[in-house]
Structure 1
Amino acid sequence: MIVRTIVRLTLATLFGHRRGLLLYILPGVFVGLCVLLAFTVDDKSGLAPAMLQQLGLAVILPLVALIAGTGAIATEIDDGSIVYLLSKPIKRSTIILTKAAVAVGVILVLGVVPIVVSGLILDPGDAQTAAAFGVGALAAGIAYTAIFVALSVMSSSAVTIGLLYSLLWESVLGQYVDGVKVLSVQQWSLAIIQRLTDLPSVTSDVKLPISLILLTAVTTAALCLAITRLRTLILSTAD
């Protein structure tokens, strides 16, 4: 019952504000663009992996994750409505993990699925590539969710910081700067995709075992940090 209430409140927060429209607009524009390219580009060789990586994985997914991850809790903290949950005898880990799970679910539907669908639109005969990008996108989405949820609990400027991280670190530096690639969620997810496909254009600077360890470590550390910080917020509220 408690978990159901948290889920309901989180969904209402995510889709009850104007920025929640971006959760539909971003994947909609991406899929629409892929449909347009599928009908207008004659030589589609290499088009699907390029679009899925350069735009889907590097831009659309982090932005959808940013909106879902920060929207799951930042809005409630900003307007003070989080006090409703904090005043109940609910474990802080339950609040964070439930909200993170809701955000992951939103990312799955509005981030991962559009990437898979776009891959099939661009190359209907290569379901393996579309599925591989779907798996990689889901792994990245989980890590992004943990990062943005933790950021939301730690800073009142979570959206701004998260936007800079998504567009600058992941979308630009994470693709082209060698030193940054090792610390990029995108590169870790590409290692998974590389293993699941045999495309020479899909490569990662990080080996798969290291990528899996880093994805797990970052996700776990971020969620633990969020839980710890939420407990501090409770003490501050009580004071």
Structure 2
Amino acid sequence: MNATVAGLSWHSLVGRRRAVLLFVLPAVLIALAVLVRLVSGQSSGNAADLLGQFSLGFLIPLLCLIAGTGAIGPEIDDGSIVYLLAKPLNRYVIAVSKWIVAIGVIVLFGVLPTLVAGFVIAGNQDGVATGYATGALLAGVAYATVFLLLAVVTRNAVVVGLLYALVWEAAIGGYVPGAQTLSIQQWALAVTEKMLGDGAAGFGVNSAVGLGTGVTLLTVVTVIGLAYTGYRLRSIRISGEE
């Protein structure tokens, strides 16, 4: 990782207008958690419902879209990426540096709020908070890789990513049998299900894939996606044209 590239990427992400969503979305999650706790009291079932539907199903994909595309997309759009590529830096180092920054943003604004929300509603009962936080982290890593790659291969990364997150992950991949096996959310949910143990069935947590399959697919998408991102950066000419 290159510290300079990472620092510039961090300031680019948190300093843009889109960064407002980075603060608003987790704040909404925490507020909902507090409201649920006040209305229904301590409940692992309510925590699983909120974290499954809002955090893993909505918050994490959207945050990853913002972080993944925002880490490099604006530089490609305005052409400033050529100044970075003109430096004697390995393209894979650039890709990894921006990917790590995106992961850091996701952990700070997505994973940690998920953990806090889980503890607010359920305390330390049944491992719901840690189970969903772990699932959010693993899903976030894979999502960030996909969206970072999208930002490199297309100038319409935000639109394509939004359609993917809302149509495929939230709708088709979340409910259509068969298609669920190709959903990052379902792969991460397999880990959450394992961590919840016997209580998973009672909370309605039932991943479409097994633990081994889910972890393998998450790893494959992350490794191949990050490697191809670096490869595509190598194909970008200094003129800014591919």
What TM-score comes out, normalization by structure 1 length?
Answer: 0.95
8 Å CA contact retained: 2:131, 2:195: yes
Other-structure match for 2:64: 65
What is aligned with 1:134? 133
* Residue aligned with 2:88, SS: coil
Matches within 5 A, 1:221-236: 221-234=224-237
Q: Which one of 203, 214, 221 corresponds to residue 211 of structure 1?
A: 214
Query: Partner residue of 2:162?
Result: 163
User: Over aligned residue pairs, what C-alpha RMSD do you find?
Assistant: 1.7
Counterpart of 1:210 in structure 2: which amino acid? Answer: T
State the number of aligned residues: 238
Give the aligned residue type for 1:36.
L
Cα offset, 1:42, TM superposition: 5.3
The answer (yes or no) to whether the contact 1:119–1:127 under 8 Å persists in 2 is: no
The aligned runs of 1:80-99 (5 Å cut-off) are 80-99=79-98
Question: Is the CA contact (8 Å cut-off) linking 1:120 and 1:127 kept in structure 2?
Answer: no
Residue 6 (structure 2) aligns with? 7
Q: Give the Å deviation of 1:235.
A: 5.9
1:171 partner amino acid: A
Q: Equivalent residue of 2:182, what SS?
A: coil
Aligned residue for 1:90, secondary structure, equals coil
Runs of 4+ residues deviating >3 angstroms:
42-45, 235-239
Aligned-partner Cα distance in 1 for 2:207–2:93 = 35
Q: Is the 8 A contact 1:187 1:206 kept in 2?
A: yes
Aligned to 1:30: 29
Deviation digits for residues 91-139 of structure 1, max 9, x if unmatched? 0000000100010011011110011111111111416110111111111
* Mapped partners of 2:117, 2:192: distance in 1: 16
- 1:45 Cα shift? 5.4
Q: Residues 100 and 145 of structure 1 are in contact (CA less than 8 Å); yes or no, is this contact kept in structure 2?
A: yes
Contact 1:189 1:211 in 2 (8 A): yes
Does the aligned pair in 1 maintain the 2:42–2:121 contact within 8 Å? no
Rounded to whole Å, the distance in 2 between the matches of 1:25 and 1:175 is: 24
- 2:75 is matched with 76
Cα distance per residue 1:172-221 (max 9 Å; x no partner): 22221112100000000010011111221211010111111111111111
- Distance (whole Å) between structure 2 residues aligned to residue 142 and residue 156 of structure 1: 22
Distance 2:136 2:152 in 1: 24
In structure 2, the residue matched to 1:49 is 48
Q: Which amino acid aligns with 2:185?
A: Q
Q: What is the rounded CA distance, in whole Å, between the counterparts of 2:87 and 2:41 in structure 1?
A: 60
Q: CA deviation at 1:234?
A: 2.6
1:6 aligned counterpart, secondary structure: helix
Instruction: Give 1:81 deviation, angstroms.
Output: 1.4
CA separation in 2, counterparts of 1:42 and 1:118?
13
| 1:3-39, Cα deviation, whole Å (9 max, x unpaired) | 1110111012101210111111111111111111111
- Unaligned stretches of 5+ residues in structure 1: none
Please give the secondary structure, in 2, of the residue aligned with 1:233.
coil
Instruction: Report if the CA contact (8 A) 2:79-2:240 is conserved.
Output: no
Structure 2, unaligned stretches of length 5 or more? Answer: none
For the 8 Å contact 2:86–2:238, the answer to whether it is kept is no
Q: TM-score, normalised by structure 2?
A: 0.94
What is the CA-CA distance between 1:157 and the residue it aligns to?
Answer: 0.4
SS of equivalent residue, structure 2 residue 135 = helix
SS at match of 2:235: helix
